């Protein structure tokens, strides 16, 4: 497991908070007064170590750990316009594996991103992505995050994110910058 150590910050939960256990993806709750360490805060979510376990805290619950609340509705835009392909890729670059401080695009998890127009004029974005490990319980959470962030782009009427396993992911799929950031070069 690779964590960003430069962002570690000790926190105390100020209220009960929904949390997703990493890497299993099991949903749970952390109770008020529990102490933890923020090990990563990227892409609008937080990875927090509590009692030897890692949890993902969504931006909508940031206030429970003393951080500024992220309004999930803020930034959602109206559909029905031309889709900026660059904006789609930029949106995916704001999604992070909660254990690795590199976005999913630079990790090489996005295999393809295709666009098609619907009969009503909207745009369907079809993404094929993989995970660093097939048994990762965080897969559905990352998949949902990609869908949500792309849906906030003007002109997008539908998003399909398909998890694929062929070819299997390997470190060679990461960008050179990602390998350098993780100390693999």
List, for residues 37-46, the tens digit of each pLDDT value: 999 988 889 9
* Domain at 9-65, CATH from 2.40.40, 2.30.30, 2.40.30, 3.30.70: 2.30.30
Dig out the tokens for 31 from the structure: 């109770």
Tell me where in the chain the CATH 2.30.30 domain(s) lie.
Answer: 9-65
Count of CB atoms situated within 10 Å of the CB of 56: 24
Q: Is the pLDDT of residue 78 over 50?
A: no
Choice between 178 and 68, residue whose per-residue pLDDT is larger: 178
**Model pLDDT, residue 68:** 85
Distance CA 167, CA 185 (A): 23
* Every domain range in the chain assigned CATH 3.30.300.130: 85-181
CATH superfamily of domain region 85-181: Fe-S cluster assembly (FSCA) (3.30.300.130)
What per-residue confidence (pLDDT) applies to 82? 64
Q: Is the pLDDT of residue 7 over 70?
A: no
Q: Distance (Å, rounded) from C-alpha 146 to C-alpha 135?
A: 19
Task: Compute the mean pLDDT over every residue in the chain, rounded to the nearest whole number.
Answer: 87
Given a cut of 90, whether residue 83 has pLDDT beyond it is: no
Least confident range from 7-21, 32-46, 78-92, 153-167: namely 78-92
Q: What is the pTM of this model?
A: 0.77
């Amino acid at each position: 497991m690779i964590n960003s150590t430069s962002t570690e910050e000790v926190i105390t939960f100020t209220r009960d908070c929904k949390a997703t256990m990493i890497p299993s993806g099991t949903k749970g709750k952390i109770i008020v007064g529990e102490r933890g360490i923020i090990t990563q805060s990227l892409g609008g979510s937080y990875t927090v170590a509590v009692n030897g376990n890692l949890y993902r805290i969504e931006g909508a619950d940031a206030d429970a750990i003393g951080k500024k609340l992220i309004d999930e509705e803020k930034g959602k835009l109206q559909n029905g316009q031309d889709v900026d392909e660059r904006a789609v890729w930029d949106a995916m670059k704001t999604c992070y594996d909660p254990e690795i401080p590199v976005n999913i695009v630079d990790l090489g998890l996005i295999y393809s991103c295709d666009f098609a127009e619907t009969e009503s004029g909207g745009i369907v974005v079809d993404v094929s992505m993989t995970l660093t490990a097939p048994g990762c319980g965080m897969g559905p959470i990352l998949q949902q995050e990609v869908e949500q962030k792309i849906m906030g782009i003007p002109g997008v009427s539908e998003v399909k994110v398909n998890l694929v396993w062929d070819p299997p992911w390997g470190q060679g799929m990461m960008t050179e910058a990602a390998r350098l950031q993780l100390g693999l070069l």
